[in-house]
Amino acid sequence: MKFYIIAGEASGDMHAANLVYALKEFHPTIELRGWGGDKMKDAGVQIVKHYRDLAFMGFVEVVKHLNTIFKNIKFCREDIEQYKPEAVIFIDYPGFNLRILPFVKNLGIKTIYYISPQLWAWNSKRVNIIKRYADKMLVILPFEKDFYKNYQYEVDFVGHPLLDEISNKMKNPLFYKINNLSKDPIIAILPGSRKQEIAKNLPIMLSLTKHFPEFIFVIACAPGLHKQFYEQFYNSSNIYYLFNQTYDILLHAEAAVVTSGTATLETALFNVPQIVCYKGNIISYIIAKQLVHVKYISLVNLILDKEVVPELIQHTFAENKLKAAFQRLVFNDDYRTAMRESYSELKNKLGDEGASERAAKIISDYCS
């Protein structure tokens, strides 16, 4: 049995890798090829393109790289046609995957979408592409099943795979020593995985270091980038740079400052009080404001449908506002307690552990 998997970012790489491990329980000799990252490679997927070469964010950035994007789409189609898999598994990444999906369906290859694009946030008309060309849709957020039901499209809710990824993590008593950290309380800084978003957001995030010298600020650095890339934005003696240790950082953190995305959910599942922030290209932001129809940008607030974690977006994401929000986050015990109580509610909504196994079972049954 041969599968082709397409993931275009770090979180998709992680979830796809866990799905692969689960699929191998059903089909030990399965062959896998696709687009992704190091975690998929470690799981046994032959990686054709690494996601770090695909990371274009925002409308302006996409326009600038249209030629590269079209070349990638053409190459991906040709690669799938030559590989002739039994099924292609699409992991989120709608700007790319929704252009590959119809092509694969028309080849007569089974199409499975695991982790829905955020169609409920903007351009919901894309549901019609999913309905027409995706044989199976497996969703991981509880409200997504009802969203698709409104479009007369039945999907499978499997729960959130982050619950599995996080459940077995435990504090390492040597964490401080191994990483040469001082014994001051840790503030986790999660600036994203793409150069564009890091360059926009990290300098403001690290402005906290001069106001709160009693903490150390530990940056969860993205794989594929270098320490020198991060050092150019801000320099302080209480800043540390750690690679491939995001969950260990969160396990030991007093609080976190996080760019929007899956990281907000990860931070909540580790029970760490957080501030969510984001600044992007101004033109992209203005366009997005016209198209996006959700009240919040963080998954925590979206899933609970209320403001649990503060959001500082675009013009509100400034040093003075971040300083004030951080002051409240780390020194107001009642506020921290209320946030953590909401985190418990969030975990209940996400379902039980075992999402990857449930997804693999559905895919295996469908393709057998």
Please report, for the domain that includes residue 274, its CATH number: 3.40.50.2000
User: What pLDDT is attached to residue 78?
Assistant: 97
- Supply angle C-alpha 199, 204, 206, rounded to 5: 95
The answer to whether residues 87 and 21 belong to one domain is yes
Residues 320 and 357 placed together within one structural domain of the fold: no
Task: List CB contacts of 72: < 8 A, sequence separation 6 or more.
Answer: 49, 54, 96
207 in helix, strand or coil? Answer: coil
Sheet holding 31-36, edge to edge: 46-50, 31-36, 2-7, 87-91, 110-114, 136-139, 156-157
Kindly state whether residues 361 and 250 are assigned to the same domain: no
Alpha helices by DSSP H, listed for 84-126, are 94-106
Residues 361 and 332 in one domain: no
Are residues 70 and 137 part of one domain? Answer: yes
Fill in the amino acid letter for 244: N
What span, in angstroms and rounded, lies between the C-alpha atoms of 201 and 156?
Answer: 36
Q: Are 298 and 362 part of one and the same domain?
A: no
Query: How many residues are listed for the chain in this entry?
Result: 368
In this prediction, residue 194 carries a pLDDT of 81
Looking at the fold, whether 117 and 82 belong to one and the same domain comes out as yes
Q: Which of 10, 9, 11, 20 is nearest to 42 (CA)?
A: 20
Nearest to 175 by CA among 204, 222, 218: 218
Query: What pLDDT is stored for residue 293 in this prediction?
Result: 56
Q: Which two tokens stand for residue 310?
A: 């503060």
The Cβ of residue 255 has, within 10 Å, a number of other Cβ atoms equal to: 20
| Residues 236 and 344 occupy one common structural domain | yes
Tokens of residue 4, six digits: 């082709």
In degrees rounded to 5, what are phi and psi of residue 157?
A: -90, 120
**Ranges under pLDDT 50 in the chain:** 56-60, 285-287, 290-291
Residues 190 and 326 in one domain: yes
Number of domains in the chain: 2
C-alpha distances (whole Å) from 22 to each of 19, 30, 116, 237 are 5, 11, 19, 43
Beta-strand pair 239-243/253-259:
unpaired
Half-sphere exposure in the Cβ direction for 92 (13 Å, CA): 19
Does one domain contain both 88 and 221? no
Say if residues 222 and 10 touch (Cβ distance below 8 Å).
yes
**Whether residues 280 and 252 fall in one domain:** yes
For residues 153 and 177, membership in a common domain is answered with no
Say if residue 41 is exposed, middle or buried (CB neighbours under 10 Å; 0-12, 13-18, 19+).
middle
Strands 110-114, 87-91: pairing is: parallel
- Residue 9: which residues within 8 A CB-CB, separation 6 or more? 51, 54, 55, 92, 93, 193
- The boundaries of the domain holding residue 284 are 167-349
Please choose, from the candidates 278, 280, 282, the residue with its C-alpha nearest in 3D space to the C-alpha of residue 261: 278
Instruction: Report the predicted TM-score, pTM, of the whole model to 2 decimal places.
Output: 0.82
